[in-house]
Amino acid sequence: MTAEDRTTAEHSTEGSYVHKGKPFDRDMTYIDDRITRDGRDGWPVEEGRYRLIAARACPWANRTLISRRLLGLEDAISVGMPGPTHDRRSWTFDLDEDGVDPVLGYERLQQAYFARFPDYPRGITVPAVVDIPSKAVVTNDFQQITLDFATEWTALHRDGAPDLYPEGQREEIDALNRWMLHRVNNGVYKVGFAGSQEDYEREYRELWAALDELEERLGDRRYLMGPSITEADVRLFPTLIRFDPVYFGHFKANRQPLATMPNLWNYTKDLFQTPGFGDTVDLTQIKTHYYFVHEDINPTQVVPLGPDMSHLLEAHDRDRLTTNTWGDGGTAPAAPPAAEVVDPAHTPLSVTGR
């Protein structure tokens, strides 16, 4: 087997995601180098040196796009966006002119991985941060990337950037994020890629028990940690925004639509209407990715037209709760750069700031 063929199905490469008789088990081994102020891993924070590769279709990548927007790192960290579909080798830059990333000169994200690890044996995943001078991948550790954006890149944050990872709440945020990762963020995949009826039913119940807990948690607080947005909200929103269009039907997580759960749904609408969240969402790319790439569970690759998601812009009731959205001294981010604006045809309506 050649290096080009080495992939793992649970990563972002086309192939077999469902294994009959087996539960879904995500490979959580990532390139764990970090970009830090002191450069202790050999990668110092440096404006303009790194390129974030983040497909809009991917929920793990969506987190990094949100964090980058909220913190105002657009000028410090450039972004490359692969298209919503890929083959078994890699995400590709098919949205760019001539199918080539204009900064890296690559057709495939795989090339950045192989530039550093010629025999890289795992999935070619997004998000990934690439060192522009060497054109080699630095890290694809999606859980650490956003934490480092919040804590290591502070010198390059915009004026008024929120503190997404406040020191006094870090222990609780970390615990909640670990729980959400296994029960919700990855929980939907455990349901959708279950290889047996027994596995499916167990994971289905686990997922819905977790969503019921979140519904209760959001009954007395505007955001997951209280009156202000934190890293926890950045991690939950990408799963919730994909739930009704994808996970409900495609992954058979169909106890009820999220839109029937008042706290979770109004929370989702609230964040969707918040600058930095909804303006990173491309619902067309999201649906195209899941329904086209997961041939195991959708062999026809037919992408559904529905559901109608225009109600994301309807009024929500979250402002009845104590609110300090951006934290003390924080402000909303400016509009996204023109080159990063989502095609209005790919969202329910134009997302406007407040």
Give the domains, in start order, of the chain with CATH numbers.
3-156 (3.40.30.10), 167-346 (1.20.1050.10)
**pLDDT, tens digit, for every residue of 242-268?**
999 999 999 999 999 999 999 999 999
Please give the model's pTM, rounded to 2 decimal places.
0.94
**pLDDT, tens digit, for every residue of 294-327?**
999 999 999 999 999 999 999 999 999 999 999 9
Share of the chain above pLDDT 90, in %: 90
Mean pLDDT computed over 200-213: 98
Give the three-state DSSP class for 294.
coil
Indicate which residues carry an active-site annotation: 58, 189
Mean pLDDT computed over 5-34: 72
- What sections of the chain are H helices per DSSP? 59-71, 110-116, 142-151, 170-180, 187-192, 197-217, 231-242, 262-272, 283-293
Mean pLDDT of the chain: 93
How far apart are alpha carbons 220 and 131 in whole angstroms? 43
pLDDT at 206 over 50: yes
**pLDDT, tens digit, for every residue of 178-195?**
999 999 999 999 999 999
DSSP for 41-74 reads: TS-B--TTSEEEE--TT-HHHHHHHHHHHHHT-T
